[in-house]
A and B are shown apart, each in its own frame.
Chain A
Amino acid sequence: MDIDLMMRVYPFFLKAAWVTVQLSIYTAILGLACGALGASMRLSRLAVLRFLGAAYVSVFRGTPALIQLFILYFGGPQIGIQLNAFEAGVIGLGVNIGAYMTETIRGSIIAIDKGQREAARTLGLSGWQAMRKVILPQAARLMIRPLGVNINALIKGTALVAAISVVELTYTAQRYIGSTYKPFEMFLLSGVLYMIIIYGTGQAIKWLDRRARIV
Chain B
Amino acid sequence: MGLDFTVVPGYLDIILLGVVWTIAITLGAAILSFFGGIFFAVIALYGPWFVRLPFRAFEWLFMGTPLLLQLFLIYFGLVQIGIDLPAFVAGVIGLGLHFAVYNSELIQTAIIAVDRGQMEAARTLGLSRGQALRKVVVPQAVRDVIPPIGNNMIALLKDSALVSVIGVSELTLSAQRAIGNTYRPFEFYVVAAAFYYVINLGMEWVLRRIERRVQAAR
Contacts and interface: CB of A to CB of B under 8 A. Distances in A.
Interface stretch (A104-112, A139-147, A152-160): A152-160
A158 B67 CA distance: 11
Given A187-B72, A191-B61, A191-B64, A74 B186 contact: yes
Name A's interface SS. Answer: helix
B114 interface: no
Interface residues of A, number: 39
Interface residues of B, number: 39
Interface of B: prevailing SS: helix
Contacts, number: 117
Contacts of B172: 64, 66-67, 70
A7 to B, nearest CB: 20
Interface string A158-191: 1110110000011001100100011110010011
Kindly name the residue among B1, B70, B189 whose own CB sees the greatest number of chain A CB atoms within 10 A. Answer: B189
B181 interface: no
Interface in B182-210: 184-187, 189-190, 192-193, 196-197, 200-201
Task: Tell which of A59, A183, A195 has the most Cβ of chain B within 10 Å.
Answer: A183
A100 to B, nearest CB: 10
B60 to A, nearest CB: 8
A161 to B, nearest CB: 10
Interface in A11-68: 59, 62-68
A71 B68 contact: no
Contacts of B61: 191, 195
B3 interface: yes
A79 B66 CA distance: 31
Interface of A: 59, 62-68, 70-71, 74-79, 156-160, 162-163, 169-170, 173-174, 177, 181-184, 187, 190-191, 194-195, 198-199
